Amino acid sequence: MMLACQLFVSVVRNSRTLSRLVTTWSPVGAAFNAQQRKVDLFQKNVGLFGVPGLSTPAGFEVAQQRALRETEQLVETACNNPPGALTVETFDQLSDSLCKVADLADFVKVGHPDPAFRDAAEKACINIGTVVERLNTNVELCRSLKNLLDNKEVLDSLDPDTRRVAELFMFDFEISGIHLDESKRGKAVSLNVNLLDLNNEFLNGTHLPNRIEKTALPEHIRHCFSIDGNSIQIGGLHADSPDELVREAAYKIFLYPNSSLLLCLDDLLTCRNELAKLVGYESFAHRALNGTMAKTPETVMKFLELLTDKLSDRTAKDFNLMRDMKMKMNSRSTELMPWDHSYFSSAVRAERYKIDPSLYSPYFSLGACMEGLNMLFSQLLGVSFQNEQPMAGEVWSEEVRKLAVVHETEGLLGYIYCDFFRRPDKPHQDCHFTIQGGRLKEDGKYQHPVVVLMLSLPPPTRSTPTLLNPGMMENLFHEMGHAMHSMLGRTRYQHVTGTRCSTDFAEVPSILMEFFATDYRVVNQFARHYQTGQPLPKSMVSRLCESKRICGAADTQLQVFYAALDQVYHGKPQNRSTTDILKKMQEKFYGLPYVPNTAWQLRFSHLIGYGAKYYSYLMSRAIASMVWRQCFQKDPFNRDMGERYRREMLAHGGSKEPMLMVQGMLQSSPTIEELVDALVADLDTDSVTCRDDSS
């Protein structure tokens, strides 16, 4: 049994009483509800993530050079050895050597507070990316793999995982144009390298604020924005502002078209399409969806259109509810506009169910939520967290916590670095980053996976722990779903470890965790008032769950619009501007009017990491819903079902066809119609997540 440690001793004084409020937490809960112990400055700097060379930004150059030397040796080994399992193992070592630098740099370039580290990491990403593109068009290297795949006797001797990984490596060659003549292969490399630059340019541009002369805005709303001399800087939509004029101004200014970024997006989409056509695909979407659950853009559009049809009446009803609320609140205009959606959907929920996030937050201290996750994983999967003190130089901020993930019989599974708290220059987004993939090493030992979870939570103070609102709590559970996928996807090969799988499958474990996060039986295990220790009342959980269905159809339809826009942008060229395409898609798939002189697509950062795959969130949610209802709704702590979930869905990473993993869990392969029905059912029916049916 874990030793409980005292965390807070709060002294509450008033004119008559002096009371002492004591709350106890497990070591994991205490680690997140207390301020982090300072690192010993006299310790030797071990480098970021314990990588010795990364104690300074210059270490990235050293790491790149080491990876390049290893790459040369491994390419030579792969090309000179006879075809067999060793060929695949060598390819995986090659992948691992490059990914150890690229993945780590991919996080550091956005997460490190030191600009010098960020710049060095960004250069490393581009340099390693260029090397990868050249390797993907290396004819001799490809021939060594083709010799294996063409040799039936050798191929039949391989185990299924090794054969699958060999096929995936060959797929990477094929989509890079290995079958082309030398000049066209060179063109493919050039396009890929150009895309690296365009991706960075567009992604950076999506986050840049827009400026406007201070005098252009009414004086009474200027204080709502960042004032810089004679100009006002607007870096977001302010969608939750109660002032309609603030929302409207933020929407029109933040989304005002940037001509250079519009050109960048045009070049990006043109370059992607040119590359896809060059290597033999109808469009970039066809290339991107090869190997996914959906498989083709036609299937994705069928899914989105069928979902739109099923939601149409519900979406219209939701928008009417928002319009009625807007009229009731005496707004300047009764027409519902895009800047109204988030605010009035929240207002409708709050009015119907009296949802005030601040009433929930005292029950969701970060420590309590981490305890809840620890207890859930322990019961469901036999996995627990152990807090570890980082060494000097191991983390990039003293607020980062390090967790060892330990299985009750298998021992250490890997490490999660928890970068949860806000700080200047840190992106306001919730992300999971793979730093090191798991794999079986040549000496027979397992290379433990290492990941970072990045959130944007308020830091604790001396007297108050970090308190999460319900949305923050769900996001924590969501990202931890990704982390556990990384920890438990213990594949033989790094190339397919953990979340290195089809994008429309990778979101299933994370979204499934959201169902656990809103089940009273789960919440009741950990939601305690951080001062009194009182449990969160069941009625508050029920109201929260029920409120999520209000305006849920309109919220889902907005995601459908984003997914459809993404598909059209990456389909066959339209010979129209991206803004004209946006207007048409908004009219067909959303329902609220396009606002002239705006370009929302320039803030659509998912076009980079999720190009042609934004639909994945919806399809994964449908799968997760079906898994929840069939496997966990009756008993969210069922260990047998937890082991089946690990065995069928988590353990394989990307080493198994995604739909085969779904089929193993659900005992059938869902149709598009069944996926749509699962999403609609979540909006329509009472759910066990809102009540305790354990009796």
Q: Is the separation of the CB atoms in 555 and 239 below 8 Å?
A: no
For residue 165, the tally of other CB atoms under 10 A from its CB is: 24
Q: Is the separation of the CB atoms in 467 and 498 below 8 Å?
A: no
The DSSP code sequence of 280-318 is T-SSHHHHHHTTSSS-SHHHHHHHHHHHHHHHHHHHHHH
The DSSP code sequence of 204-239 is HHHH--EEEEGGGS-GGGGGGSEEETTEEEE-S--T
Q: Is the separation of the CB atoms in 232 and 211 below 8 Å?
A: yes
**Side by side, which strands form the sheet with 450-457?**
383-388, 401-407, 411-421, 450-457, 431-436
In the DSSP assignment, the letter for residue 429 is: S
Task: Give the whole-angstrom CA distance, residue 660 versus residue 642.
Answer: 18
Sign, CA torsion 62/65/67/70: negative
CA distances from 158 to 82, 83, 204, 453 (A): 14, 11, 44, 36
For residue 400, the tally of other CB atoms under 10 A from its CB is: 18
CA distances from 75 to 61, 63, 86, 192 (A): 21, 18, 12, 21
Q: Looking at 479, 507, 546, 648, which residue is catalytic?
A: 479
Q: Is the separation of the CB atoms in 348 and 551 below 8 Å?
A: yes
User: Tokens for 587?
Assistant: 């009219």
Largest CA distance in the chain: 88
For residue 94, the tally of other CB atoms under 10 A from its CB is: 24
Ramachandran area for residue 653 (φ above 0: left; ψ -120 to 50: alpha; else beta): left
Residue 19 β-bridge partners = 12
Task: Give the whole-angstrom CA distance, residue 123 versus residue 127.
Answer: 6
Q: Is the separation of the CB atoms in 526 and 371 below 8 Å?
A: yes
Residue 110 β-bridge partners = none
Residue 159 β-bridge partners = none
Task: Give the whole-angstrom CA distance, residue 278 versus residue 115.
Answer: 38
Q: Comparing C-alpha atoms, which of 476, 455, 465, 464 is closest to residue 523? A: 476
Task: Give the whole-angstrom CA distance, residue 550 versus residue 488.
Answer: 35
Residue corresponding to tokens 């050293």: 62
Residue corresponding to tokens 């928008």: 319
Q: What is the β-pairing status of strands 431-436 and 450-457?
A: antiparallel
Q: Between the CA atoms of 305, 306, 311 and 313, what dihedral angle is there, to the nearest 10 degrees?
A: 90
Task: Give the whole-angstrom CA distance, residue 20 versus residue 249.
Answer: 48
479 is catalytic: yes
In the DSSP assignment, the letter for residue 371 is: H
SS3 of residue 433 by DSSP: strand
Task: Give the whole-angstrom CA distance, residue 350 versus residue 273.
Answer: 45
Q: How many helices (H) and strands (E) does the chain have?
A: 27, 12
CA distances from 651 to 95, 233, 488 (A): 20, 47, 6
In the DSSP assignment, the letter for residue 599 is: -
In the DSSP assignment, the letter for residue 180 is: S
| Active centre residues (catalytic) | 479
